[in-house]
């Protein structure tokens, strides 16, 4: 790690803005900066293509559980979505097309990982060291994704299992599951998409369920040619359709409705889904959750329960004790032999690995700050001690019910306005005050007290080690957009003009 007093490496390339990540968030930032005439930027991407989580999650059955007409950029509508909830290859192709057509790809640097970004007081810029050269950037826009680092379970023997083992987000396409004995560990959003596909191919499937999820029916359908033609040619129709979907979801979970009583109809629908899909009372009991609906992500599928009800599937609820060379041993001592283990155990969400590599003005990392104070950012975007740092999909900006692309566009609008403000007033730096950040976070956490995350009796990846929900946005999405519509200078300490590093 470079400290503030060491000389800036001679070859460091100076840029106005450095964006980290080329997923939905980083690409949105790049396109919008370019639209503002901010041409001097670089987008660092550790992978070889755009797409982020949609590039990485290629498991069979991967699809979005938010309607594609809404889960896409407002500035790049796509009348050609094949289904209401599009499959991963279509979403990835959409992101690639938007990137290509936007004309910004010449500023993307692929296969290049951020190693350390250190705030340099003297240069009033971020020194960004990468696996392939260094940069000195006036501001840093981090769109590294909240679900990008796979989390492996801490299960004894995982490394010594003799068959194949891989994480859902690192699918091994060379692995042929036909006629194999397969185990899936986990029953979250990824697993419930994988399980129906694997159940059809495998000779036998063991599903290791630690907590049963709430699963609602998936109202998916294919768009007809006529519908697609209308969406393409009728002026304003696609926008109106998108708006209708947006408000439909917003009223489905309007502000405060995450209170348990208001979620009762959803619970009834999910219970009916179990009753309709599974006839065996023992299996029904196993898959019926014992926590309040909404406390973990509500999942949608029409194929999950039928896959569990197949005679070749077993739902194992005994705790996993260890893996052996041949299979999985549960706490009751039973060993189930398998050929392939698919680990669908989620991602590092509340200890984001990139925060270990961001070193602020006081010399401590963002990870160290958040370890002490909890994960918090002013408006989910900026953090005291970290001047000119903008986090996309930062703390408490996640959603369970609507489109993250909407939240990303709202955050990018805020960042654009921050950059415009800095240019207009010749501010060298902007850094939110501790006071504004604490007030913002307290108000969010107070709202959480009224929601199912405080009363639902479950733990989820939404929550940190103290049980605080530091991941989700507890209000309406239009409220978020409104609050981030303008960069609010009074909440910031601003640095005086300086000699421009770039
Ligand atoms: O991960 P998860 P995911 N032993 O963390 C279990 C998004 N997404 O990859 O509930 C045994 O939700 C764990 O059990 P428990 C979406 O935002 C979107 O499925 O902790 N089991 C749980 O069942 C989603 O929320 C789409 O008790 C262990 C599972 O593994 C997020 O990604 C599709 C275990 C992990 O579930 C993450 O979803 C897919 C252990 N040691 C994903 N450790 C869309 O459609 C964990 N588990 C847009």
Write the ipTM. Answer: 0.98
Name which residue leads in pLDDT, 359 or 466. Answer: 359
Of the pLDDT bands very low, low, confident and very high (cuts 50, 70, 90), residue 264 is confident
Helix, strand, coil percentages in the chain from 3-state DSSP, rounded to 5: 35, 20, 45
Neighbours of 47 (CB within 10 A): 17
Average pLDDT over residues 28-37: 98
Mutate to test the pocket of ligand 1, among 165, 292, 296, 345 (most ligand atoms within 8 A of CB): 345
Return the ligand 1 atom nearest residue 297 CA: 25
For ligand 1, whether the C-beta of 155 sits within 6 Å is yes
For ligand 1, whether the C-beta of 273 sits within 6 Å is no
Q: For position 321, what pLDDT does the model report?
A: 98
Of the pLDDT bands very low, low, confident and very high (cuts 50, 70, 90), residue 260 is low
For ligand 1, whether the C-beta of 346 sits within 6 Å is yes
Is 257's pLDDT higher than 70? no
For ligand 1, whether the C-beta of 317 sits within 6 Å is no
Among 37-46, 176-185, 440-449, the range scoring the smallest mean pLDDT is: 440-449
> 96-133 pLDDT, tens per residue?
999 999 999 999 999 999 999 999 999 999 999 998 99
Are residues 139 and 388 in contact, defined by beta-carbon separation less than 8 angstroms?
yes
Q: Give nearest CA residue, ligand 1 atom 40.
A: 153
CA 186–ligand 1 middle distance (angstroms):
6
Q: Can you tell me which residue has the tokens 């007290």?
A: 449
Of the pLDDT bands very low, low, confident and very high (cuts 50, 70, 90), residue 2 is very low
Average pLDDT over residues 301-315: 97
For ligand 1, whether the C-beta of 461 sits within 6 Å is yes
For ligand 1, whether the C-beta of 187 sits within 6 Å is yes
CA 61–ligand 1 middle distance (angstroms):
15
CA 294–ligand 1 middle distance (angstroms):
14
Q: Give nearest CA residue, ligand 1 atom 41.
A: 153
Neighbours of 364 (CB within 10 A): 15
| Residue among 378, 409, 380 at smallest CA distance from 394 | 380
Return the ligand 1 atom nearest residue 461 CA: 5
CA 297–ligand 1 middle distance (angstroms):
9
Q: For position 349, what pLDDT does the model report?
A: 76
d(CA 452, CA 469): 10
Q: Give nearest CA residue, ligand 1 atom 18.
A: 189
CA 203–ligand 1 middle distance (angstroms):
24
β-pairing verdict for 215-216 and 299-300? parallel
For ligand 1, whether the C-beta of 328 sits within 6 Å is no
Q: For position 322, what pLDDT does the model report?
A: 97
Is 502's pLDDT higher than 60? no
Return the ligand 1 atom nearest residue 153 CA: 41
Neighbours of 434 (CB within 10 A): 13
* Dmax (CA) of the chain: 73
Return the ligand 1 atom nearest residue 63 CA: 45
CA 397–ligand 1 middle distance (angstroms):
18
* Cα distances (angstroms) measured from residue 434 to each of 376, 383, 442: 11, 8, 12
For ligand 1, whether the C-beta of 54 sits within 6 Å is no
Percent pLDDT > 90 in the chain is 82
CA 188–ligand 1 middle distance (angstroms):
4
Are residues 338 and 310 in contact, defined by beta-carbon separation less than 8 angstroms?
no
Of the pLDDT bands very low, low, confident and very high (cuts 50, 70, 90), residue 252 is low
Q: Coil, strand, or helix at residue 133?
A: strand
| Residue among 24, 138, 151 at smallest CA distance from 423 | 138
Return the ligand 1 atom nearest residue 191 CA: 19
Return the ligand 1 atom nearest residue 211 CA: 27
Average pLDDT over residues 379-390: 98
Q: Give nearest CA residue, ligand 1 atom 35.
A: 345
CA 190–ligand 1 middle distance (angstroms):
6
Of the pLDDT bands very low, low, confident and very high (cuts 50, 70, 90), residue 499 is low
Q: Give nearest CA residue, ligand 1 atom 6.
A: 186
Is 331's pLDDT higher than 90? yes
For ligand 1, whether the C-beta of 274 sits within 6 Å is no
HEC secondary structure over 160-225: HCCCEEEEHHHCCCCCCCCCCEEEEECCCHHHHHHHHHHHHHCCEEEEECCCCCCEECCCCCECCH
For ligand 1, whether the C-beta of 344 sits within 6 Å is yes
CA 18–ligand 1 middle distance (angstroms):
31
Q: For position 258, what pLDDT does the model report?
A: 61
Is 194's pLDDT higher than 90? yes
Is 501's pLDDT higher than 60? no
> 424-458 pLDDT, tens per residue?
999 999 999 999 999 999 999 888 877 777 766 67
| Residue among 377, 357, 411 at smallest CA distance from 492 | 377
Q: For position 246, what pLDDT does the model report?
A: 93
> 343-359 pLDDT, tens per residue?
999 998 777 789 999 99
Q: For position 255, what pLDDT does the model report?
A: 46
Q: Give nearest CA residue, ligand 1 atom 2.
A: 346
Are residues 250 and 475 in contact, defined by beta-carbon separation less than 8 angstroms?
no
For ligand 1, whether the C-beta of 401 sits within 6 Å is no
CA 196–ligand 1 middle distance (angstroms):
16
Mean pLDDT of the chain: 93
């Amino acid at each position: 790690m470079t400290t503030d007093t060491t000389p800036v490496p001679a070859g460091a390339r100076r840029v106005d803005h450095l964006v980290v990540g080329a997923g939905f968030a980083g690409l949105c930032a790049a396109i919008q900066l370019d639209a503002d005439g901010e041409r001097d930027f670089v987008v660092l991407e550790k992978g070889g293509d755009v797409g982020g989580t949609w590039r990485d999650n290629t498991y069979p059955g991967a699809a979005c559980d938010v309607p594609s007409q809404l889960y896409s950029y407002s500035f790049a509508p796509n009348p050609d979505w094949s289904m209401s909830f599009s499959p991963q290859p279509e979403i990835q192709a959409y992101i690639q097309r938007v990137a290509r057509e936007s004309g910004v790809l010449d500023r993307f640097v692929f296969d290049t990982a951020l190693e350390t970004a250190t705030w340099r007081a003297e240069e009033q810029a971020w020194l960004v060291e990468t696996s392939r050269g260094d940069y000195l950037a006036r501001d840093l826009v981090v769109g590294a994704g909240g679900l990008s680092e796979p989390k492996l379970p801490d299960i004894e023997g995982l490394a010594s299992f003799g068959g194949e083992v891989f994480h859902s987000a690192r699918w091994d396409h060379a692995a042929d599951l036909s006629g194999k004995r397969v185990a899936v560990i986990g029953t979250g959003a990824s697993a419930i998409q994988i399980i129906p596909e694997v159940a059809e191919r495998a000779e036998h499937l063991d599903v290791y369920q630690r907590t049963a999820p709430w699963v609602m029916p998936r109202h998916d359908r294919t768009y007809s040619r006529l519908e697609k033609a209308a969406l393409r040619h009728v002026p304003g129709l696609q926008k109106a359709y998108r708006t209708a979907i947006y408000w439909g979801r917003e009223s489905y979970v309007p502000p405060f409705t995450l209170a348990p009583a208001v979620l009762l109809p959803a619970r009834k629908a999910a219970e009916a889904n179990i009753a309709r899909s599974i006839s065996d009372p023992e299996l029904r009991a196993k898959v019926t959750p014992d926590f309040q609906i909404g406390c973990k992500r509500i999942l949608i599928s029409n194929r999950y329960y039928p896959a569990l009800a197949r005679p070749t599937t077993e739902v194992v609820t005994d705790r996993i004790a260890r893996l052996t060379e041949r299979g999985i041993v549960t706490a009751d001592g039973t060993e189930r032999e398998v050929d392939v283990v698919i680990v669908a155990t989620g991602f590092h969400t509340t200890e984001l690995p990139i925060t270990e590599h961001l070193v602020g003005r006081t010399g401590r990392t963002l990870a160290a700050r958040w370890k002490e104070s909890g994960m918090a950012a002013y408006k989910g975007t900026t953090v005291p001690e970290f001047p000119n740092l903008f986090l996309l999909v930062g703390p408490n900006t996640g959603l369970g019910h609507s489109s993250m692309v909407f939240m990303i566009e709202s955050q990018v609008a805020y960042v654009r306005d921050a950059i415009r403000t800095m240019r207009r007033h010749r501010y060298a730096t902007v850094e939110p005050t501790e006071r504004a950040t604490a007030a913002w976070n307290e108000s969010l956490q107070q709202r959480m007290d009224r929601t199912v995350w405080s009363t639902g009796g479950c733990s989820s990846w939404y929550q940190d080690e103290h049980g605080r929900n530091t991941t989700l946005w507890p209000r309406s999405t239009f409220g978020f957009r409104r609050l981030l519509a303008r960069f609010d200078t009074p909440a910031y300490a601003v640095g005086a003009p300086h000699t421009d590093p770039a």
